[in-house]
Amino acid sequence: MSSLPHRIARWANRNMPKREELEHNRWVGPFARRPELWRFTRRSVPRGVAVGLLVGIFALIPGIQIVGAALMCVPSRGNIPIAALMTFLSNPATTPLILAASIWLGNRLGFHADVTTFNALMERGASLREWAYWLLSDAAPAMLLGLFVISVIAAAIGYLISSFGWTWWIKHKRKVALERIRLERGEG
């Protein structure tokens, strides 16, 4: 049985968009030809994680998330595949929770959005028109501010965790390699 990091890496490798696939996208194609945006380095991976979380949580529109994350990776020199993968953390299962938390946070920060109306719209499967009407009320500022705060905090936490994780992984690989060398020399 393989370890969790190996399973995650295999899953990511299967599901991450490939550079060749993105080269055909008219928005991302020009950036797919820049190899530095596809390398996995100690600086590009945490940047990609942060960009993916920032865009993935704030945008919440599936097609916009990956393209937005790829475009933001250019000036930040983040890893595009990691950024695209991180946008999937906001999915149909997590989006209602993210929206409810952002509305709650926006209310705490001084705006007013009626959470009970939000819950009622969710429960009855409201039409797009009803959602638009609700968003055009005073709910939009609360939700947008909450989304902004949550996405910035998630991006910062993701950056730190991936940076420390990357450092741990490199140290672990070096330790295993040194152990292997010691065993081969008969020093173990």
Express each pLDDT in 81-117 by its tens digit. Answer: 899 889 998 888 888 889 889 988 998 988 887 777 7
User: Among residues 92, 148, 75, 144, which one has the least CA distance to residue 113?
Assistant: 144
Q: What pLDDT, on the 0 to 100 scale, is given for residue 2?
A: 67
The low-confidence residues of the chain, meaning pLDDT below 70, are 1-2, 16-17, 19, 27-28, 31-33, 188
Q: Within a 10 A sphere around the Cβ of 154, how many other Cβ atoms?
A: 22
Instruction: Tell me which residue range forms the domain holding 162.
Output: 4-185
Q: What pLDDT, on the 0 to 100 scale, is given for residue 24?
A: 75
CA distance 125 to 27: 33
Listed in sequence order, the residues at least 6 apart from 139 whose beta carbon sits closer than 8 Å to its beta carbon are 103, 113, 114, 117, 118
Q: What pLDDT, on the 0 to 100 scale, is given for residue 21?
A: 73
Listed in sequence order, the residues at least 6 apart from 98 whose beta carbon sits closer than 8 Å to its beta carbon are 57, 60, 90, 147, 150
pTM: 0.74
Q: What pLDDT, on the 0 to 100 scale, is given for residue 38?
A: 77
Please tell me the total count of domains within the chain.
1
